[in-house]
Chain A
């Protein structure tokens, strides 16, 4: 056995001395598994090697990175490691890409960048993921422990900077904690209400060695998320629902992060309760379903907002009563009792007083609540909803989503055609502003994890890197970034990345020559004074820009060009940028002005 140990020791570069000194007669040492275990335990690995091994254990298959001085020891090990790696052109994009990957797959996105500017460049990406509860782990280099606090070259207190925008963050002060911290970081990122976790890695912890043993389990006494909903509360919810005459489901991103779409659909169909979604919730319920009301809120559909305002029971699941959803909070759903299902207790009764809170995982709670209706008489309940459904139909008749396609391309038309050509089978990312709202309104998302959009933070420049993340996860899927001429330029350097890795991302630029949403607000609320919002004549030629990067560029000026150009773009297995020259002053309707009640909508 000693010989076999010696052999293995040599093979894996371990401690030969230990192997030789093992006593044959040692009863604790059995062959095979315990032998390997012991070897593993006594083998010293550098911090960088520990990170690689830990990432393997976590099942990581893709890393978005950007190197620099402080993380070079880690990059040295990454070369040849069994992960696909994407070198971005700006650290912000690395985080958005990992975020897009996480949204599209449900797995944890991973980012590795260097200290100082590398770390501070990730902040917008981290804050974006934090606001939308997206699981990512960001590893930043840091100056050696002894230099921390000395204003060393490329030093930034990234722990201090990201404390309010991460779910948790760690500074590795002792290499012995490294494996535990990595294990915890992935666990914290993906469990409970997911979110970004940052690990700051001083250069010495990457270089020094210690014994490596990856923890099997995580136990954090201060962090025990509640998954199972309280049964008593669930039973009370059933009673409240059966008593209601005008119920509506108001669902958000929580349905998607807990993979509860199936349960939600069953629930809604079983009881005939209509569903309205937040921006983050789009795709959690099929957008073309007869019970779907589409999105609610500031740019939601008229009928969704009216339904909520007239309802007598609001069943909020995995949503958080954001101000863009509720409008004037005191006037929100005035007659409704509110049931709120959410995994995060801090979301409950934060903005709106809730009548019946249930803390837990959406999927598990929906699975628990469904069978409870089998014991109840739901046929009379459903029959009682007929009047409610008729009322909703009336709301639809008052105002339907529409636009007038004349000689100049309407942005909504482009989005509708994308939906028709793809039949909804595509992953869509958006930037932020009008492009994002039109996408939410005119592309009925059919499946969860097909819309990648920065909902909470509203980060322009999110769409292209997020599309990269999704495309890297699903190389053969059609991934489209619906963009504006403003947002696109916030991360257009990533064209180099998509070309380098031959990611066939399609970027659809709805080019109106303005920062459109800003211009719209200025038109409505600031006397049409278009301060700093006009880009006309200042943007680059996007077709030439695409070509300069080695991508394909198209331009469409007329409505009849839209379909052929989209078809052509979708058929090319390369990155394509399409510059749609659209109506410069088209507005997003309907709109609830900020701070107004939801039923005070501007319809045209």
Chain B
């Protein structure tokens, strides 16, 4: 098994699960119910339509004991509107997340904020009298590092999209038959 660098190494593992599901009402509740029924927290969740409008992809990030997670994966597979389940943590994959951060911008901090944004290849997408709103995309590590730098400057508000992920190379995660 290829251990992802972000994997926590004490029993409880981080898992990035990609699901292909029927694009219909009620599917999200069925899936969320499997996690909540076992006291699992969903760390992040991202759902959107695929190229095929009848199918949606879901990316779920969660942490849990391996045996319980194996059970959850099987249970997910058992749900009738779930077409495919892949635990990406067993594969080599890329993941990204976007964050919008509203930082207080004073004459003293403006320079520093812009420098940080530049280093992280982010963008300032809105400017207020006392704030900057910043957009940055990256994996969990990068986002966390950015937030650590911005925090002392005064983060007013923060919204993260949740992670999306994909297998590296030419292999296709979302092909129902693969």
Contact = CB atoms under 8 A, between A and B. Distances in A.
Given A171-B26, A222-B83, A344 B33 contact: no
A163 B80 contact: no
Nearest to A173: B25
B50 interface: no
Contact of B80 (A220, A344, A346, A350): A220
A221 B176 contact: yes
A188 B78 contact: no
Given A188-B80, A222-B79, A222-B83, A346 B74 contact: yes
A164 interface: yes
Given A221-B22, A345-B74, 8 more contacts: A163-B26, A163-B30, A163-B33, A167-B80, A171-B25, A171-B26, A222-B80, A346-B78
Contacts of A173: 25
Contacts of B67: 349
Interface residues of B, number: 22
A168 interface: yes
A160 interface: yes
Contacts of A168: 80
Contact of B71 (A171, A221, A350): A350
16 contacts: A160-B29, A163-B30, A163-B33, A167-B80, A171-B25, A171-B26, A188-B80, A221-B22, A222-B21, A222-B82, A223-B80, A345-B77, A345-B78, A346-B71, A346-B78, A349-B70
A171 B77 CA distance: 21
Contacts of B33: 163-164
Interface string A171-205: 10100000000000000100000000000000000
Contacts of A349: 67, 70
A222 B29 contact: no
Contacts of A271: none
B144 interface: no
B37 interface: yes
Interface in A339-364: 344-346, 349-350
A159 B26 contact: yes
B24 to A, nearest CB: 9
Interface of A: 159-160, 163-164, 167-168, 171, 173, 188, 220-223, 344-346, 349-350
A344 B30 contact: no
B138 interface: no
Interface string B15-34: 00000011001100110010
B81 interface: yes
B151 to A, nearest CB: 40
Nearest to B37: A164
Interface string B70-101: 11001101111111100000000000000000
A171 B37 CA distance: 22
Contacts of B80: 167-168, 188, 220, 222-223
A217 B14 CA distance: 41
Contacts of B77: 345
Contacts of B79: 222
A374 B45 CA distance: 53
Contacts of B22: 221-222
A191 to B, nearest CB: 11
Contacts of B78: 344-346
Contacts of B26: 159, 163, 171
Chain A CB count within 10 A is highest, among B33, B67, B80, B176, for B80
Contacts of B75: 346
B76 to A, nearest CB: 10
Interface string B89-127: 000000000000000000000000000000000000000
A174 B82 CA distance: 21
Q: Which of A160, A173, A346: most chain B CB closer than 10 A?
A: A346
Nearest to B75: A346
A159 B24 CA distance: 14
Contacts of B29: 160, 163
What are the 5 A-B residue pairs with the smallest beta carbon separation, nearest first? A346-B74, A222-B83, A168-B80, A223-B80, A222-B82
Contacts of A350: 71
A222 B79 CA distance: 7
A164 B21 CA distance: 18
A31 B82 CA distance: 43
A222 B81 contact: yes
A122 to B, nearest CB: 19
A345 B78 CA distance: 8
Q: Which of B21, B30, B78 has the most CB of A within 10 A?
A: B78
Contacts of B37: 164
Contacts of A160: 29
Nearest to B70: A349
A160 B33 CA distance: 10
Contacts of A221: 22, 83, 176
A160 B32 CA distance: 12
Nearest to B27: A222
Interface string B21-64: 11001100110010001000000000000000000000000000
A167 B25 CA distance: 17
Contacts of A346: 71, 74-75, 78
Nearest to A193: B78
Contacts of A171: 25-26
Contacts of B70: 349
Contacts of B82: 222
A72 B33 CA distance: 33
Contacts of A188: 80
Most buried by B among A164, A168, A221: A221
Nearest to B20: A222
A541 B129 CA distance: 84
A167 B30 CA distance: 11
Contacts of A344: 78
Contacts of B71: 346, 350
B27 to A, nearest CB: 10
A168 B82 CA distance: 12
A491 to B, nearest CB: 29
Contacts of B81: 222
A164 B33 CA distance: 8
Nearest to A344: B78
A344 B79 CA distance: 12
A344 B30 CA distance: 18
A146 to B, nearest CB: 16
B70 to A, nearest CB: 7
Contacts of B25: 171, 173
A26 to B, nearest CB: 34
